Amino acid sequence: MTLNQNRHDTQIAIIGGGISGLWLLNLLRNQGYHALLFEKDALGGQQTFASQGMIHGGLKYALGGFTTTASETIKDMPNVWRNCIEGKGDIDLSGLEILSEDYYLFSDAALSSKVTAFLASKSLKARIDTLDRKDFPSAFASTSFRGRLYRLQDIVLNTPALIEKLRNKYSRYIYQCAPIVQNHEGRITGLHLNENDTLRADRYIFAAGSGNAQLIQNTQLSQTSMQIRPLQQVMVKGNLPTIFAHAVSLKAGSKPRITFTSHPHPDGQTVWYLGGNLAEEGVGKDPIDLIEDTKKELAALLPWIDLTDTSWATLNVDRAEPSQNTHARPDFPFVEAKDNAMVCWPTKLTLCPMLGDQVLEKLSTAQFTRHEETLLQLPTVQIAKTPWELAFD
Ligand SMILES: Cc1cc2nc3c(=O)[nH]c(=O)nc-3n(C[C@H](O)[C@H](O)[C@H](O)COP(=O)(O)OP(=O)(O)OC[C@H]3O[C@@H](n4cnc5c(N)ncnc54)[C@H](O)[C@@H]3O)c2cc1C
């Protein structure tokens, strides 16, 4: 550090501008903390925009025919988010565009009688409706569709609109920067922002998704390690009807075979963004082969939809999460506090409100210095492009 550096102070420094960092910035500033956020590239550009934007109610984790820790942890989340969208939650998301108020589950063939009975059971009554043909969404109105259709309580958010909303209220506290974390004997002593500026905070929050691994390694603060679970998602663009649904097939066992979400492309066409088992099994496949396999599966699942004039692409992306013994999907958001640092992974966009509660709880016993609000002379940061804007430029 040179002598003529500008030394700034704040209460909380957040590293990472995906959903978790931006959620925490809004939550903490709403609570009166002086918090600043640093994003190295563009807001939302990693897992957040690669996500399908679904706010899960957990039904997809119960397709084995029984509820699980995952399905129970998450079941209230659609209501928590709806409250925020109605302006009644911890974060004000009023007016946020929802891509779909409804999410469906359809089967290509009769489901096993065990799963069918479970889906119709009293315990799931508030979470799922079996639909009559007259209530089918238009994409399934064809008489060629002979499977069953259920409506779940999940909603689908427009993630760029979500990130824009979370950015707007506190945009002057968000900076483009990849800070170098300075530490001494296991305690963070400051952030080196650039050759002129350093920042000292009472608390430092790592909310950098897969970037947390490097931050943890550089600072040696946490015993925690990160796991990544890769996916190869498929994108199809054309004049397509919107589909928001899990395709469930006996072939995929207790996991959705294909998870469909539909997103507007700036050119006016619709992009189907396809995940689920298809994307898990797609890892390592040549994109051309994965696209060919997907075309065959869609032709079998939705034979009435014409896919002749469509463009195709795939996206390789990793989910970044705290390591689990079995490398399985974690059921809860993760927050670890050590000295003046915290490491966070929401594990699902859906679980950010729970992540926020955990962070607030851990901060409630911390001591904060009172000083003037700091505004830094650093570049502002843009919102990233979506994977389908990049793929179909
Ligand atoms: C294909 C896919 C589909 C998914 N679908 C869903 C879904 O439908 N519903 C759901 O609930 N969840 C879903 N998820 C999970 C969800 O996307 C993630 O849990 C969530 O987006 C993680 O957000 P984050 O802010 O922690 O990480 P990210 O969105 O990855 O953001 C981390 C940010 O930190 C920045 N950064 C990294 N290192 C540094 C550094 N050193 N300095 C400054 N900035 C840094 C990065 O540039 C990035 O912008 C999905 C995930 C994937 C991959």
Cα 104 from Cα 256, distance rounded (Å): 11
pTM of the complete model: 0.95
Q: Which residue has the tokens 């097939």?
A: 249
Nearest residue (by CA) to ligand 1, atom 5, is: 51
pLDDT for 220 equals 75
pLDDT for 371 equals 81
pLDDT for 224 equals 82
Cα 245 from Cα 247, distance rounded (Å): 6
- The DSSP bridge partners found for residue 203 are 12
User: Residue 363 — φ and ψ, nearest 5°?
Assistant: -80, -15
Per-run averaged pLDDT (10 residues), the chain, 393 residues: 77 98 98 97 98 88 67 85 96 96 81 64 72 93 88 94 98 97 92 96 97 90 87 98 89 78 98 96 98 95 95 98 87 92 96 97 94 89 98 96
pLDDT for 328 equals 84
How many other β-carbons are positioned within 10 Å of the β-carbon of residue 389?
16
Looking at the CA of residue 43, tell me the nearest atom of ligand 1: 49
Indicate the burial class of 316 (C-beta count within 10 angstroms; 0-12, 13-18, 19 or more): middle
User: Could you tell me which CATH number the domain at 6-47+162-225+324-391 has?
Assistant: 3.50.50.60
* DSSP tag of 65: S
User: Could you tell me which CATH number the domain at 70-156+228-321 has?
Assistant: 3.30.9
Ligand 1 center–CA 349 separation, angstroms: 8
Domain boundaries, the chain: 6-47+162-225+324-391, 70-156+228-321
Q: Which long-range contacts (CB under 8 A, 24 or more apart) does 136-142 make?
A: 137/102, 137/104, 137/243, 138/241, 139/241, 139/242, 139/243, 139/302, 139/305, 140/104, 140/106, 142/304
Ligand 1 center–CA 324 separation, angstroms: 18
- For the sheet with 311-322, list strands across it: 128-130, 149-152, 103-107, 245-248, 258-264, 270-275, 226-238, 311-322
Cα 276 from Cα 248, distance rounded (Å): 10
Ligand 1 first shell, C-beta below 6 A:
15-21, 38-41, 45-48, 50-54, 56, 178, 207-209, 211, 215, 231, 233, 275, 317, 319, 345-350
Does residue 344 sit in helix, strand or coil?
A: strand
How many other β-carbons are positioned within 10 Å of the β-carbon of residue 2?
6
Q: Which residue has the tokens 């959620």?
A: 23
Which of 38, 48, 263 for mutating ligand 1's site (highest number of atoms within 8 Å of CB)? 48
Cα 383 from Cα 74, distance rounded (Å): 28
